[in-house]
Structures are given as structure tokens and as C-alpha cells.
Structure 1
Amino acid sequence: MAILLLAGLGLFALLSWWPGWWVRQVMARHRAPVDRYPFSGGDLARYLLDRRGLADVTVEMTKDGDHYDPHSRSVRLSPENFSGRSLTAITVAAHEVGHALQHAEGDPAFERRQEMVERSAWAQRVAGWLLVAIPVVTVLEKQPMPALVMLVVGVLTMAVPLLAQLSNLPIEMDASFNRALPMLEQGGWLTKTERKPARQILRAAALTYVAQAIGSLLNVLKWLRGLRM
């Protein structure tokens, strides 16, 4: 029984680690050469937005990861994608512009996605507080049951972001393959040999948040293992 449990935990750890590793590998693989195009990811994002009448949407550099912020109406790109001139840079930029288009068109699925992301972020914060409070409650109550209840609630709450991102996959895939890919192909920015790697990058961009959510859940399990020890 113990062997099966350890094997199950090992399999879960592998499945949790693999998506994030795969996303990073795909992105890094196509960042070279860094001067493949005469324009950067930031330049392309600005061009695509202007061509579609979204001059009011800004393009900014950020250290918080590539994303579109609907509150400030900003396409935000990491430094390597904002200034980079690689296949990864222009493809990720097109993906984030795809989200800006969804927002501008009032896509109901995009609106639901934003609500779910914000609620899951709140749930993750609550879970963090619960998990931190477990040792304190255990000492004060001098019995394990209240802490056990908090533990179960905390772990279940930490799973909310993962479920939210899994349900958001259709909107991510839409931004990648129904918006970004056609923009890149129509602009003539992809050669025949670049179409397959571009699709890999777009798939990785769509799975980025899922990989992050799985990683967060894995961190919780690591924390619980340390607590048990």
C-alpha cells in the first residue's frame, strides 16, 4: 500500500512538473536566433493593434509574465518578448493581442474567464492563510481535528485555480489558433517551415496558466509533506 501511495505521488509530481517544463522548453527553443525579424514582439503587437482599430490599447514591458490586462487595456510582454526579434517573441505577442481582440469584441467567454481568474486568485489567497494558520491552530486547540478540517479546506481551495485555468483553455486556444495564427499567416511573417514551431509556441502560450496552476498545487503537496515530517 505504501509503495502504491509513493508511486502515485511520484506520478503526480511528474505530471505536475512536466507541463511547466514543456512550456519553458518550447519558448526557449525558438528564441534563437534573436534577430530573426526586423521588428520586435512589442513592435508587432503595436502594429496588429493599430491595424484593428485598438490604438487605445497600450503595449508595455513587464517582469510579471506575458499577459493582457483588461482593466488597464494593456498588452504586457516580458523583456525578451517585448524587445526580442525571435519567433517566440512575435508569436507570443500575437497571442496576447488575440486576448485584446476578444476583450474589444465583448466575447462572453472572455468576460467569464476574467471573473473566474479573479475569484480563483482570491480563493488561492484564502487557502494560503488557512495553510499558514494550521500549526497555530494545532497548538492552541491541542487537538488535531480543527487543523485537519482547515487542511482539507485549504488544499481543496488551492485546487480552484487549476480547475479555473482548465475551464479557460478554450478561450486560450481561441486566442492562439483562431486569432494569433491567422494574423501571423496573413501578415506573411511565417515561412512554411516556421508554421509548425509557431503552432507549438501558441499551444505553449495557451497552456502557460495551466502549468502555473499545476505547479502551485504541487508546491502545496510539497508543503504538506514537509509539515508531516
Structure 2
Amino acid sequence: MTSKIYIIRNLFSSTLCKTYISFLTSLPLITTPGRPKKDEALRVNDRFQVDDASFAELLWSGTGLKELVCSSASQSENEDDGEKVDWDGEVLGLNPNIRIYRYTKGQFFGQHYDESVQVMHGTPPVKGRTSWTLLIYLSTCSGGETAFYPEPGPASKKGRAQSQPEPVVVGMETGMALLHRHGDECLLHEGREVTGGEKWVIRSDLVVRR
């Protein structure tokens, strides 16, 4: 499972997270519709979205994220086989489509898959596609964990179906980044209901050359 989930602790300092939250509260956040469109997961949160290549570059080059990803030297904490992380191609940077999420008590994001999208990245523009979701947590709260649901393994030689594996649950830490594969390799996942406090998230994606 570690080949699809990657955690970076303390990417942001707690002070920086507070500064971001102070600014983000001033943005015109929009509450998602109560009824999702066809084939969309039910979610209830407040969000803001903007295309900002400069901010995406700041997140990429100004936080140490670029060095961690491109070197592939840091491995997820449970990865003990010495293999480097597969980012699914030559990483170009982050998706300039920046999304801000705020979840308050009772809000959640139902089970869903994240799709890969094609983007033009950089100047001059290079053809790219997104391969991993990036979530940066600016706060902690009660509830609100991200739960991943692995698919059962293949049936045994006797034809017996494998039991459903236990979900992989990732709790939040202030300043922590969570990367997980999306597109064809995406695990079914959800953002569990917040039961207390507020959950603030900056969302982008890794972009690889196509």
C-alpha cells in the first residue's frame, strides 16, 4: 500500500499554517451543492478554487517538496524494502489549479476516486498529466481522517474470494502533506466526517510529462 500513499510530516511549520488559515478565511469560500452531479461523490465542504501558477511554483520549489519528490530519496515511513517511490513519470511540478477546502463539524467527502487530468505545464508550456493528489493539512480536528479502501486480492486456487482488507486510515497533523496515486491507480477513499474543530486543506496534484 505504501506504493500508493506517501506522507511528508512538517512540510509546513505550525506558524506558517496559522498564517495561511488567517488569509484563507478572507477568501469567498463556496459551500458545495447538497446534491452531487451524476457519478460524483457526495461531499459537503466549503471550497475556493483558483488557477495560480506562481503559487503552485512556490509550493513546489519553496517548501522542499521538489527535492523530496525528485530525488525519491525519502520513502514512506512503512516502506522497508529500499525501493524508491514511483511518481508515474518525469515530474514537472504541481498543477496550477489550486483548491482550498474547509470542513467544519458535520462536513465530509464521500467515497470516490480522483481522476487524472491533462494539463499544460510551465513556460514554455509542456504537455503533462496529473498522477498523484497532493493534500497539505493546515490544521487538525476531531474526525476528518482520510480513509483508503484497498481492493481484495485475487481469488484463491480453490476459488474462494479474498476478504475485504481493512481500510488504511491516515490522520491529520498540522503541516503534513499527504500524496496518493490517482487515475487508474487510485484507491477508493473518503474524507471522514469532521466531528469537532475545522479541517483546512490546500489541494494540488503532481504533474508528470506525457
TM-score (norm 2): 0.28
Structure holding more strand per residue: 2
Higher relative contact order (CA 8 A, sep 6+): 2
Structure holding more helix per residue: 1
TM-score (norm 1): 0.26
